[in-house]
Structure 1
Amino acid sequence: MHDLLPPPRVARPEPGEFVFSSSAGVSGPFADAVRLALAVLPLGDGPGITVAEKDELGPEAYELTITPERIEILAGDRAGAFYAAQTLRQLLPDDAFRAAALPGVRWAVPCGRVEDSPAHPWRGTHLDVARHFFPKREVLRMIDLMAVHKLNRLHLHLVDDQGWRVESRRHPRLHEIASHRLETVVSHKGEPQEFDGTPHGGFYTLADLSEIAAYARARCVTVVPELDVPGHAAALLAAYPELSARPGAEHAVWTRWGISPDILSPLQPTVAFLAGVIEEWIDALGPTPYFHLGGDECVLDDWAANPEIVAYQRELGLAGPGDLHAHFLLQLADVLSAHGSRAVVWDEAFVSGALRPDSIVMAWRGEGVARRAAEAGYDVVMTPVLPTYFDYSEVEGPDEPLAIAGPLPLSAVASFRPVPAEWSAEAAERVLGTQFQLWSERIPDARTLDYRAWPRGCALAQVAWSGQAADVEERLPRHLRRLDALGVEYRPLDGPRPWQKGGTGRRRHRANDFVTEDVMRHLDELTLAADSTRPS
């Protein structure tokens, strides 16, 4: 019981073991969740695991007692039972993480008692499927890996300048036109611009979205869809240019990275259009407690230069484009509220101070803006660039494959505390949790995704579950064998395998990619700019 990840609050070993016989089964409430987590076991209908509900434990909490005669799970809810079973899975031989049972494996777990509950309700993974599209099978696989690590929020970045990733029956040009681009930039900063000449794209049907959400719910994961507006809108405007803040302008799905100046008009036709999209997504997803509206990196120049938009702003009694930005997001948040969803935004949207009170702020620019949002009464998810942007390279070195920036070492993730010790109790209570981000400009495929996500994701999972710094160095050697059984192509602790290296081609390491200091300087500048425009 010393190499469980994340480690439970109480893990007390006892002599003996429970051996699963061919007839051992699962009974009681939430038995389906336990069977799902232990699907590799040849479970029968006889006595073995008993599950009971214990309201006093609270959400996601459980107590697990293992004796030679039986296994007892007491759970606060279905998620608690599921996580108890995931703990059982880690106590089994590593082959419990394979897709099918191997012959000759002795299925046994050591006796003992485990008591556990999470420190934070929000323990997430952000997956950008807009810059590079990941087929549905990869999304489902990510959900499986999240479940193993007791992560429970899948934030899907479904819309950006480089692609729109969801079918729309109301506005079909979104998937017919906006879902693909002609080619993708392969040159990097400081190099002559070069493109690969290969079309890239893809989208999820609304049925796919329903399937993803149902698959996630069964594994106690909540899908948080992101419709990033009003900026990052090049793909949308390529399909529906009439929604542009620049009438008559031509738009195309972006083939390069960076921040596009393309922005949606904030006028009522745009709000109505997006309200329809929101309704389509929620109808497909089912119950959607959280819905991300983006709101980040918006270039407002076209709003200030458009007489109709300026007149609309003045009619509303707003002081400038920044206030209009807040008003635009507030209208969409009201639409979400009518559908039973809370709006989530990146921290730029907090600057104006005009969010709905129930909005959730994702603070990517660091602890300072997160603290201000919490002290202003907003719930916060801690998503600072350092150390939660896993598209950054783990180390600086010539063998590493191309990354957008770095380094962001495993040790930095392991030492992260979602709630800084110096915060007041009132501000600390506003922290819902944390998540790691996988922006996909430099993550073109599933193998690269594995390399970037793990094992840093293991450390973040422990941090999010415990609320404390993680002692992953002690636990990872055993846990990586579990990932091997799962087929995860993680980055080994001693460096990349020969086929994971950048080599000398387009994926080669470039020293000027690793600009951690520049990134932090840029974030400081953004925060100072936000402070200067925020109402007193």
Structure 2
Amino acid sequence: MNLLPRPVSYVDGGRLCEYRGWETVLVDGPPGGYRLISSDDGVLIEAHDAEGEMNALQTLRQLLGPQAFRAAGEKPSVIPACEVVDHPRFAWRGVMLDVARHFLPKREVLRYVELLSAHKLNVLHLHLTDDQGWRFECKRYPKLTEVGSWREDSRFGDRRSGGMTGRPHGGFYPQEDLREIVEYARARHITVVPEIDVPGHSQAAIAAYPELGVHGGGVWTDWGINERVLNTEESTVDFYRNVFDELMDVFPAEFIGLGGDEAPGHDGEIVRAIAKHLVRNGRRPYGWDEVLDSGPLPAGTVVASWRGVEGGVTALREGHDVVMCPEEFVYLDYRQSDSPGEPIPVGTVTTLEDVYAWEPVPAEVTGDEPGRLLGAQANIWTEHLDSARRVDYAAFPRLAAFAEVVWSPAEKDPGFVERLREHHLPRLDALGVEYRPLTGPHPWQLLPGVPGFPR
């Protein structure tokens, strides 16, 4: 229930009540669930847990109207008389934010934490390292940020065009900033899952410490798959064990991302080694679906199924827990229409309606598999999103549709787009989100002349 209540029970007597605050009591019920009653006597929230109370408060905020989403100004004082009974469909309702390709300052990450909370999303997956930049301060290996956190140039649009921006790009998060992000998210019942990618997507680390790689080279200035991957020396494994130790010290999350994707010709040895290291330290490895090709994985490994749903189905049958994030439905950097004016058109057309129509549970999943389908996440890759404004354009309002999918029952509401237009876009306006209008981009959101690679 993210845009307008579609609860188990909803009674509205057509009355408005004066809003004077709320009272919360804890009751039995599904995790994250709540019951909200608004009447002349005030607002009563019955919640299963603290996350359920937070979800109820976001519903209360929605009922108060768009003005309640502004940081300052006169606040609404009335609320409809109603009863809302609701709970999330999935436990993992996540967003992957790629801060490696284009760095987002801490203030923007905190803003996205707020936006996730407003949409009742509860996992922020931070993609912290890639060929194009290393964003995690590792105190034991300072050159990872001194050398690896910036690149001399960036591809402008798709690599086939040969264009470059002609300017450096970089940035990294000190550990204290990351601890702040974690705590800020924790207060909003959002888990921050960090990812350091191995053995591929590692050129920034190899640029800083060449002994880690099969080949040398600087921080990559291009997009796409880089065939330069980590070597399999024990010293390289030890190096990354030390890096992940610092990562685990900063991020208390149960889940720690280790990548495992798009590593041509690699046998997966380092993936298995790091996964075992994480398990020994009481954490659960979280990797892209290529980790299934790395050989036997330790119990507790979670698989993110991005190359369609097949990897996720296989993982469930092998006993692994799974998060669904197939590129054809929830890669929010993909173009939003087939119009040639769509700014930097990459990937397949993925419309708002496509995202909302998606069903996260594949038809071939029976529920009897030894693994569990934890939920789903939307992925925001930033090769072509070089600012917070561009991230907003790509993410919204499709992320609102995704939030509705992972919260609500499987049945689709034919009135979704109208609810979005009438009730939720005004909230995004109040929050200052520079979303893509339903009718197409504003003139200033266009990027004419920047070549993409539509599929």
Q: 1:178·1:239 contact (CA, 8 Å) conserved in 2?
A: yes
Separation (CA, whole Å) in 2 of partners of 1:68 and 1:127: 42
For the pair 1:493 / 2:438, whether they are aligned, the reply is yes
Q: 1:93·1:107 contact (CA, 8 Å) conserved in 2?
A: no
Larger displacement relative to structure 2 (393-402 or 137-146):
393-402
SS at match of 2:179: helix
Question: What stretches of structure 2 of length at least 5 have no aligned partner?
Answer: none
What TM-score, normalized to structure 1? 0.81
User: Match for 1:436: what amino acid?
Assistant: A
Alignment of 1:253-268 (within 5 A): 253-268=219-234
The CA deviation string for residues 60-82 of structure 1, in whole angstroms up to 9 with x for no partner, is 11111111111111111111000
- Of 146, 154, 158, the residue aligned with 2:128 is 158
User: Match for 1:473: what amino acid?
Assistant: V
- Of 149, 154, 175, the residue aligned with 2:145 is 175
Separation (CA, whole Å) in 2 of partners of 1:393 and 1:155: 22
- Of 249, 269, 288, the residue aligned with 1:283 is 249
Alignment of 1:65-80 (within 5 A): 65-80=37-52
Alignment of 1:167-316 (within 5 A): 167-191=137-161, 193-244=162-213, 246=214, 249-285=215-251, 287-300=252-265
Separation (CA, whole Å) in 2 of partners of 1:399 and 1:385: 22
Separation (CA, whole Å) in 2 of partners of 1:467 and 1:230: 38
Once the two structures are aligned, what percentage of the paired residues are identical? Answer: 44
For the pair 1:50 / 2:23, whether they are aligned, the reply is yes
SS at match of 1:73: strand
Separation (CA, whole Å) in 1 of partners of 2:232 and 2:160: 35
Equivalent in the alignment of 1:128? 98
Larger Rg: 1 or 2?
A: 1
In structure 2, relative to structure 1, the CA distance for the partners of 1:469 and 1:58 (3 Å cut) is closer
Q: 1:154·1:221 contact (CA, 8 Å) conserved in 2?
A: yes
User: Match for 1:292: what amino acid?
Assistant: G
Separation (CA, whole Å) in 2 of partners of 1:230 and 1:494: 42
User: Match for 1:444: what amino acid?
Assistant: D
User: Match for 2:291: what amino acid?
Assistant: A
Separation (CA, whole Å) in 2 of partners of 1:421 and 1:72: 39
SS at match of 2:192: strand
Q: For residue 166 of structure 1, report the CA deviation from its aligned partner.
A: 1.1
The CA deviation string for residues 328-369 of structure 1, in whole angstroms up to 9 with x for no partner, is 222212221233221011001113451112110001111222
Separation (CA, whole Å) in 2 of partners of 1:335 and 1:485: 45
The CA deviation string for residues 171-205 of structure 1, in whole angstroms up to 9 with x for no partner, is 000010000000111153543x2322211000000
Alignment of 1:425-440 (within 5 A): 425-427=367-369, 430-440=372-382
Q: For residue 124 of structure 1, report the CA deviation from its aligned partner.
A: 0.6
Separation (CA, whole Å) in 2 of partners of 1:351 and 1:101: 54
Equivalent in the alignment of 2:117? 147
Separation (CA, whole Å) in 2 of partners of 1:69 and 1:391: 47
SS at match of 1:387: helix
Q: For residue 423 of structure 1, report the CA deviation from its aligned partner.
A: 2.2
What TM-score, normalized to structure 2? 0.95
Equivalent in the alignment of 2:453? 513
For the pair 1:468 / 2:410, whether they are aligned, the reply is yes
In structure 2, relative to structure 1, the CA distance for the partners of 1:6 and 1:428 (3 Å cut) is farther
The CA deviation string for residues 97-117 of structure 1, in whole angstroms up to 9 with x for no partner, is 001133xx5421111111111
What's the RMSD between the two structures over aligned residues?
1.8
Q: 1:5·1:149 contact (CA, 8 Å) conserved in 2?
A: no
User: Match for 1:250: what amino acid?
Assistant: G
User: Match for 1:502: what amino acid?
Assistant: L
User: Match for 1:299: what amino acid?
Assistant: P
Separation (CA, whole Å) in 2 of partners of 1:159 and 1:196: 21
| Equivalent pairs, count | 452
Q: For residue 467 of structure 1, report the CA deviation from its aligned partner.
A: 4.7
User: Match for 1:481: what amino acid?
Assistant: P
Q: Give the number of the structure whose residues are more often helix, by fraction.
A: 1
Query: Which structure has the higher relative contact order (CA within 8 Å, separation 6+)?
Result: 2
